Each structure stands twice: as C-alpha cells, then as structure tokens.
Amino acid sequence: MSNKDFLKLIKKQRETKTSQKFKGTFLNYLKEVQDNPGIVKLAHKRLYKVIERQGVTTTDVGRDDYREYFNGEKLRKYKYFEKEFFGMEAVIHKLMQFLKSAALKGEESRQVLLLMGPVGAGKSALVEYVKSALEMSDRAYHLEGCPIREEPLHLLPRSLRSQFGELLGVSIEGDLCPICRHRLISEFNGEYEKFPVTQSSFSQRGRRGIATVPPMDANSQDVSVLIGTEDISKLDLYPEDDPRVLSLNGAFNVGNRGIVEFVEVFKNEIEFLHTMLTATQEKRVPSPGKNDMIYFDGVILSHCNESEWNRFKGEHTNEAILDRVLKINVPYVLELDQEMKIYEKMINRSDFKTAHIAPHTIKIASMFSIMSRLKSSAKCDLLTKLKIYNGESIIEKGRVKKIDIKDLREEARNEGMEGISTRFIMKSLDRALSDSDQNMITPINAIDTLVKQVKEQVIDDSLREKYLEILQDIIREEYLRILETEIAKAFITAYEEQAQSLFDSYLDNAECFTTRTKVKDKITREEREPDEKFMRSIEEMIGVVGSAKDGFRSDVTAYMFSKMRKNEIVDFKSYGPLKEAIEQYLITSVKDISRIVTKAKSRDNKQKKKYDSMMLTLIEDYGYNESSAEEILTYAANNLWRDS
C-alpha cells in the first residue's frame, strides 16, 4: 500500500464518523426532538436501552438453557453479557433490574449501585463491561462547548417547560450549568434559540460521559477530583464568582449523562462520599468556588469487598449513605461447567493459547476452586454437592440419589462469598506451565502447583488444611477415577468386536423381552427365556434400574428397528445410552488388561498392538499429545494400580 492508500483509508473512516453528526441551533434541535423524542433520555435509561437492544430472553424452568442451579427462579438473560460472563446470570439479572427501574424513574434512579463480593469474583470486569456498553450507544445531543455536555432542553425557562414537554412528548428536567448560563447571557443576549447544539459519543478514554474514581487515602483526597476546580490562572482575569474561572473536570462533571464508577468505594473517607450522596439524593453536585450547585444526571456504580462493607456498615454515622445504596452480592461461581468457561476464556486471551493443556486440567482446577467455596452439608459430601450444583444426577448403587438442590442452597445461604479466587487458579496454571519443559499443563502438575500455592499462600491454618485435603484426597481420587475410566475406554477401541457382540446379544434379549418371545440360539436353535441377569448387568452401568428397565428395553428395540427399516447401519455405537452402558460394562473387564499392559516393562506383540492403539485413541480422539499421554499413563501405572 502506498501513502495515498493509507490516506484514503483514514479519510474514509473520518467521513463515516463525522457524516451524521448533528450541528445546529437550539431551534433546530427542537425540531429534531419533535421528530424523534427518543433522543431525550436520562442516563439510566440510555444505559438500559443500549444493553437491552442486544437482546433479552427469559430463562424459565423447563427451558433448554435452564439450569438446576437457578433454583426455580425465573431470570432475564441479557445477550450482551453472554460471551463474557459465566454463571453470573443472577447478578446480571439484578443489575439490569436496577437499571430498568431507574430508567422508569423509580427510587433506584436516586441510588448508588454497589457490587459487593470476594476478590476476583468479576466485579471490576462487570463494571468495565457495562461502561463499554455505553460507548456503543448513540451520540448524545448537548450544548456546544459545555464542559458537562448537558442536555440542550435545560435552556428552556421553567415557565415554558410543561408546554414544550407536551409538544415534544418528552419530560424536561435539570438546570443550566453556570458556564452555559453565563454564555447565554453574554454571547447570545439571552436568546437561547440561537445557542449551538452538537452531538458527541461516550468514551472512557476521551473522558466523555464515563468517569472512574480510584480509592484515595485521606491525604491525597481532594474533592476537586469529583467536582472540578477553579482555574487559578484565570482568577486574575475574572472576578471570583465568574463561571469562566471554573474548570469542570471532576468525575461527576465528566460522568454527567453517563456513568461514574467508584472503585473500592469504602476505602474513601466519609466526607468524600458526601458528594456522592448529594449527587444521588438531589441530583446535583457542588460547584467549585462560589457558584450554585450543578445539576447531575448519571448512573453511579461502585464496588467493594465484604470486610470493607461490614466495617462501613458498622458505623451508624454512615446510615445516610447506606440508605442510598442498593447492594448486589457478587458471589463466586459454584457451578463447575460455568467456572470452567471462565478459565477457558482467560486462557484463550493469554499466551497460554499456544500451550498444550491436557484433558481434564481445567476441570480439575475448577473443581478445586468450587469445592473451596462450598459449605459442607450433612446431606452429602463436597464432591456430591459440587455435582448436584452442576446439574449432574448422582448414581449410587444403581439408583439416582435424591438430594434436592433447593435444600442444599437453603441450608447454605451466603455461600460463595469466600474461598479460592479465579486469580489464584490462573496464577497456579501459569506457574504449572512455566515449570513445564514441554510447554504443557496436565491435571497432575496442576494439582501439584495448586498444592504448592496453597502451602505458600494460605495463611489460615484450618483453611490450609481444608484446601490440602480437598486437593490431595478428594480431587486426587476423583481424578484417578476419571483417568482409570479414560484409559480403559481408550483400550476399548481394541475391543470393538467384543463390544459389538455384547450389543448383538443385548439387542436379541431386549427384543424378545419386549415382544414376550423366546430367544433362539443362533447355532443350536435352542429356545430359552431372555437372559434377565445379563441385561440388568448392562443397564446398571448407566443407572437404569427397577421399573425403568422395561421402557429402556422397548426404546432400544424400537430405535434399532426403525433404523434397520431405513436400511441404516446398526452397531453398538448407534444408540448413545446403550453405547455408554456397553462401554462401562467392558471397562470393568478391560481394567485388568489395561493395568497389565500399561504397567508392563516389556510387552509382547499382542500387548504392544493394544497399547499402541490405546495411545492413538488418547491422542487422536481424546486430545492428548504424546508427552501428556505418557505422563498420565506413567501416573496411572504408579498410582492407580499400585501392587499391593
């Protein structure tokens, strides 16, 4: 590309940016509003609308996307957040409910929204993401040159407002800022219809409509950060109460019509927070110097952790502020599948992308973070609780274990407000990766580094003990179980024939059972009753027990015959549940041989063939690479099948 081409690109982009930008007088603006009253919006409404516009669905019991964990609650799910946040539907639902009520000018429009939760629960990320929604919204119309980009309708005198409000179909609130007021008189002689109006977008970096207030210690705390200052260099030029000396660049000035964020809000001194209080209560903020208060319209978002909240709440002098705060708890995620998505997202956005992450690694790490957050229950152990929260059915001794998720959640209110954070897990995975010579992480070195990190970083003795027990006992055992099944399953590929003959035999028996006929032996032509014991031993593998067996058998038979009628191939993989059952059945018998072959120092030809085919399955079908497959097999040989 030549310089000319570059210039073309630049100009073209610039044109699209400036093309539709409104520029005119207040009079032109009135016409604009008449044609499209929707352009007049207060901040909460603007924010709500831009997020809602991306799509909303209601998630209710019985729908596909409904999860056990929602506990019977009906939730509104906002598409805007879907790809970024996982397992936070309830929090987002509440956040949006706040914005929605505030948009309708309910009491919420005069409240500060506070997200309270443990470290790394996603509070900052959520607020950041809400702020970037505003950057996607349409440009706001405002008085040209106004430092707080105010709504042009503020120009209308009180006596005309109700009439204009009716004519235009909008409601008009707020007062002209001192700077525009001064300009109106000195420059336009009070003829407000001539005041120029323009449009601009919202931008965090451009400090247009989005402001962030970091926590400040008592010494550096200066209210000018919030409300702006007087420009000393201009004090020589103008009298002290002249608005032209004002430099309205505080957070409430910048964030007017958009969002003001208070990071770790309660780390600030109480005096500092009073401005926040006035801003919500009166919708006005003080002006620097001797000028009148300035109208403010904006969404105030803040966040803090639980100990800061408790400390702040403990002081009764803070009641006035507390009364203006709407708190939403942001707990950690307690659903395994959702927690895994968080790390998958983070990994995909980091340099990890190029590393090899062996199967189950993220699952194992997520199991740890979740179990560390769960409160123990008398109804079941931690691992079972984790599975129930994740919507899995628990099969014990061939029966589905009946524990109601409602009861579990009820007895552990406030769960998820402590435990291992997402950052702790990411740091461990990071470390596991940098410790590895092969640029890979496996569940084995993930567990190792998690143990190391816990030993180094968890100071509280009883917590450390609890975490180590989770890692070294519960998770390790669960991983060995997963591993044993996986290896045995990988061996099954070498046993396809066996699987197929099990399948044929099951199908014969199930058919005769369903049609109440006898099974005919293919060779001897002898007739006998269907083999109940055999069928049960297969069905048990997937928890089909008791009266459920009749339905299962007739389902299988019907399914297979309909396939055969259509001339489709029928093999042991045709029907998902049956395939699963047959594999499980085989695994039990394959375990022995997989142990022998895996452990063997030298393998005979037949064994070698089986071993190689198993390796191939691990790599091609299960997502291992050669090094990680070797590592888990060595681990299995050393831990799973120790010679006793």
Ligand X SMILES: Nc1ncnc2c1ncn2[C@@H]1O[C@H](COP(=O)(O)OP(=O)(O)OP(=O)(O)O)[C@@H](O)[C@H]1O
Residues that bind ligand X (CB under 6 A): 85-88, 117, 119-125, 305, 333, 342, 422-423
- From the list Mg ion, ligand X, none, partner contacted by residue 557 (C-beta under 5 to 8 A by kind): none
Q: List the one residue out of 228, 354, 377 whose CA is nearest residue 288.
A: 228
Q: What angle do CA 197, 198, 201 make, to 5 degrees?
A: 145
- From the list Mg ion, ligand X, none, partner contacted by residue 87 (C-beta under 5 to 8 A by kind): ligand X
- Helix count (H) and strand count (E) of the chain? 28, 20
Residue 122: how many CB atoms within 10 A of its CB? 23
Q: What angle do CA 475, 390, 551 make, to 5 degrees?
A: 110
- Listing DSSP states for 507-551 in one string gives HHHHHHHHHT-PEEPTTT--EE---HHHHHHHHGGGT--TTHHHH
User: Rounded distance, CA 375 to CA 377, Å?
Assistant: 6
Please name the residue that has the structure tokens 């090899």.
356
- Tell me the window of 124-132, 152-160, 253-261, 425-433 that interacts with Mg ion (CB under 5 A): 124-132
In the complex, minimum distance from the CB of residue 325 to Mg ion, in angstroms, rounded to a whole number = 18
> What one-character DSSP code corresponds to residue 111?
S
- From the list Mg ion, ligand X, none, partner contacted by residue 447 (C-beta under 5 to 8 A by kind): none
- From the list ligand X, Mg ion, none, partner contacted by residue 309 (C-beta under 5 to 8 A by kind): none
In the complex, minimum distance from the CB of residue 243 to ligand X, in angstroms, rounded to a whole number = 38
What b/e string do you get for 608-644 counting C-beta neighbours within 10 Å, with b at 16 or more? Answer: eebbebbbebbeeebebeebbbebbbebbeeebbeee
**Beta-bridge partners for 327:** 114
In the complex, minimum distance from the CB of residue 457 to Mg ion, in angstroms, rounded to a whole number = 19
Cβ proximity to ligand X: between 63 and 423 the closer is 423
User: Rounded distance, CA 309 to CA 117, Å?
Assistant: 9
Cβ proximity to ligand X: between 83 and 316 the closer is 83
In the complex, minimum distance from the CB of residue 110 to ligand X, in angstroms, rounded to a whole number = 25
- CB-neighbour burial class of residue 479 (10 A; exposed 0-12, middle 13-18, buried 19+): buried
- From the list ligand X, Mg ion, none, partner contacted by residue 86 (C-beta under 5 to 8 A by kind): ligand X
In the complex, minimum distance from the CB of residue 254 to ligand X, in angstroms, rounded to a whole number = 22
- From the list ligand X, Mg ion, none, partner contacted by residue 228 (C-beta under 5 to 8 A by kind): none
Cβ proximity to Mg ion: between 124 and 493 the closer is 124
| Residues in contact with Mg ion, shown as a per-residue x/- string from 260 to 279 under the rule CB under 5 A | --------------------
- From the list Mg ion, ligand X, none, partner contacted by residue 120 (C-beta under 5 to 8 A by kind): ligand X
Handedness of CA 495, 500, 502, 503 (dihedral sign): positive
In the complex, minimum distance from the CB of residue 262 to Mg ion, in angstroms, rounded to a whole number = 12
Between the alpha carbon of residue 415 and those of residues 126, 387, 418, the distances in Å are 20, 16, 8
Cβ proximity to ligand X: between 300 and 499 the closer is 300
Query: Which residue's C-beta sits nearest to Mg ion?
Result: 124
- From the list ligand X, Mg ion, none, partner contacted by residue 122 (C-beta under 5 to 8 A by kind): ligand X
In the complex, minimum distance from the CB of residue 609 to Mg ion, in angstroms, rounded to a whole number = 55
In the complex, minimum distance from the CB of residue 66 to ligand X, in angstroms, rounded to a whole number = 18
- From the list ligand X, Mg ion, none, partner contacted by residue 121 (C-beta under 5 to 8 A by kind): ligand X
**Beta-bridge partners for 352:** none
Q: List the one residue out of 548, 510, 291 whose CA is nearest residue 400.
A: 548
In the complex, minimum distance from the CB of residue 85 to ligand X, in angstroms, rounded to a whole number = 4
**Contact call for residues 530 and 556 (beta carbons, < 8 A):** no
- From the list Mg ion, ligand X, none, partner contacted by residue 102 (C-beta under 5 to 8 A by kind): none
Cβ proximity to ligand X: between 342 and 502 the closer is 342
In the complex, minimum distance from the CB of residue 574 to Mg ion, in angstroms, rounded to a whole number = 51
Tokens of 34: 């008449």
- From the list ligand X, Mg ion, none, partner contacted by residue 479 (C-beta under 5 to 8 A by kind): none
In the complex, minimum distance from the CB of residue 121 to Mg ion, in angstroms, rounded to a whole number = 9
In the complex, minimum distance from the CB of residue 362 to Mg ion, in angstroms, rounded to a whole number = 23
Cβ proximity to Mg ion: between 115 and 133 the closer is 115
- From the list ligand X, Mg ion, none, partner contacted by residue 170 (C-beta under 5 to 8 A by kind): none
Cβ proximity to ligand X: between 122 and 530 the closer is 122
In the complex, minimum distance from the CB of residue 128 to ligand X, in angstroms, rounded to a whole number = 7
Should residue 421 be labelled a site residue for Mg ion when binding is judged by CB under 5 A? no
In the complex, minimum distance from the CB of residue 301 to ligand X, in angstroms, rounded to a whole number = 12
> What one-character DSSP code corresponds to residue 208?
B
**Beta-bridge partners for 285:** 294
- From the list Mg ion, ligand X, none, partner contacted by residue 312 (C-beta under 5 to 8 A by kind): none
Cβ proximity to ligand X: between 109 and 338 the closer is 338
Long-range contacts of 453-462 (CB under 8 A, 24+ apart): 453/424, 453/427, 453/428, 457/424
Binding footprint of Mg ion, residue count (CB under 5 A)? 1
Cβ proximity to ligand X: between 153 and 429 the closer is 429
Cβ proximity to ligand X: between 305 and 445 the closer is 305
Residue 548: how many CB atoms within 10 A of its CB? 12
Between the alpha carbon of residue 484 and those of residues 265, 287, 443, 587, the distances in Å are 50, 70, 14, 9
Q: List the one residue out of 105, 119, 51, 59 whose CA is nearest residue 80.
A: 51
Within 8 A by CB and 6+ apart from 134, the residues are 46, 47, 50, 202, 209, 210, 258, 259
**Contact call for residues 172 and 204 (beta carbons, < 8 A):** no
Within 8 A by CB and 6+ apart from 12, the residues are none
- Tell me the window of 99-107, 123-131, 162-170, 529-537 that interacts with Mg ion (CB under 5 A): 123-131
Cβ proximity to ligand X: between 173 and 344 the closer is 344
- From the list Mg ion, ligand X, none, partner contacted by residue 422 (C-beta under 5 to 8 A by kind): ligand X
- From the list ligand X, Mg ion, none, partner contacted by residue 198 (C-beta under 5 to 8 A by kind): none
Cβ proximity to Mg ion: between 124 and 438 the closer is 124
Question: Using the rule CB under 5 A, which residue among 25, 59, 101, 124 binds Mg ion?
Answer: 124
Q: List the one residue out of 370, 384, 378, 457 whose CA is nearest residue 418.
A: 370
Cβ proximity to ligand X: between 82 and 508 the closer is 82
In the complex, minimum distance from the CB of residue 112 to ligand X, in angstroms, rounded to a whole number = 17
Cβ proximity to ligand X: between 253 and 338 the closer is 338
Cβ proximity to Mg ion: between 124 and 627 the closer is 124
Footprint of Mg ion (CB under 5 A): 124
